[in-house]
Amino acid sequence: MAKKNKTTIKDIANVLNISAAAVSKALHNDSRISEKTKKAVRQVAENLNYQPNHLASALRSGKSKLVGVIVPRTNSNFFSATIHNIEEVLNKEGYNIIITQSNESYKKECDNIDTLLFTQVDGIIASMANETVKLDHYEKIKAAGIPLITFDRGENDLNVDYIGINDYDSSHTIVDHLVEQGCKRIAHIGGYKHTRIFNNRIRGYSDAIIKHKLPLDNELIIESSLTTEDGRQKMLQLLKLKNRPDAVYVAGDYAALGALQVLKEQNIDIPNDIALVGFGDEPFASMVTPSITSVNQHSYKIGRIAAETFLEYTKKDVVEQHLNKVILNSKLIIRDSSNKKSVL
């Protein structure tokens, strides 16, 4: 079967017997083209299934009206909701987004950035992979003069805009809540310390434990990639301790779900024997039994602010990246997994 040629502006021009330049102007809503001609061009373009070449358009105009979005994964409610709100804001201003996910891989993240730069995106909004330590691939974006906005996971060393929550204070709030419930030996299943947000959560946990004059025991602090399977394995590790915890604060809801599964399989009373708190407020947190106490990260606000921050750059002739941090206060949603008072 012969390959079908892609419809071009010249094909539309031939049908209407006008110049390719006139077709191009009509498709870009140029005021010098009559409404009658614009309508005819749009109709023929639709009939011929014309798809604009964004790359060629970007090379000609210097603007692709595309924004790249990089997330560690799309199966997280936090990231999918943030993407939704980024897109909602940008669509209203005539921009479309290209979504890529790193799957927590440094190499995949590097490849995603190379692809987005090749596509001539006008900006990149990104949350970093767990594996990311070196920042050379992000420096490449800055060197290209393209606005870079980071959210949730971002490093101060990049000196770019950042939108997120106060992870340090969030940990304090969680420990305060568990202490109020009578917990005295609180463990923390965290992310990797090299990632700023997880380092902040570990520091917040440690300082809050010291504030309440509770034991700060290294065997109670475990780093992980925070998958559901990680939650299972790390919970089993904690249960093997001679002096096991009476509460576990997990820095991600998927890992908290794995921990919950193990506690139920071991017939451990939740929250009376071991209380459990997650992070992220995934939809399933309110649906499982017992429901999981968790931290709401305000994905709606983060997505909108990230998009609006990019749009501010479009008003400038020269991109001058700077460190503009927007830090939001999170909200602890108390549910059955930690609320001992509700089961008395």
Cα torsion angle, 108, 109, 114, 117, sign: positive
> Helix axis angle, 77-92 relative to 299-313, nearest 10°?
40
Specify the pLDDT at position 315: 82
How much is the average pLDDT of 26-31? Answer: 81
Q: What percent of the chain has pLDDT over 90?
A: 69
Mean local confidence (pLDDT), 166-188:
97
Burial of 78 per CB tally in 10 Å (0-12, 13-18, 19+): buried
Domains in the chain, start-ordered, CATH in brackets?
1-49 (1.10.260), 65-165+298-329 (3.40.50.2300), 167-297+332-343 (3.40.50.2300)
| pLDDT classification of 302: cutoffs 50, 70, 90 | very high
- Mean pLDDT for 206-224 is 95
Residue 214, pLDDT above cutoff 80: yes
pLDDT at position 1 is 42
Q: What mean pLDDT do residues 159-183 have?
A: 96
Instruction: Please tell me the least confidently modeled range out of 48-57, 230-239, 244-253, 262-271.
Output: 48-57
- For residue 158, the model assigns a pLDDT of 83
Mean pLDDT for 82-94 is: 95
Neighbours of 91 (CB within 10 A): 12
User: Are the CB atoms for 234 and 224 separated by under 8 Å?
Assistant: yes
* pLDDT > 70? residue 196: yes
Q: First vs last Cα of the chain: how many Å apart? A: 73
Predicted TM-score (pTM) of the model is: 0.81
CA 312 to chain centre: 20
Q: How big is the chain, counted in residues?
A: 344
Above 50 in pLDDT, residue 105? yes
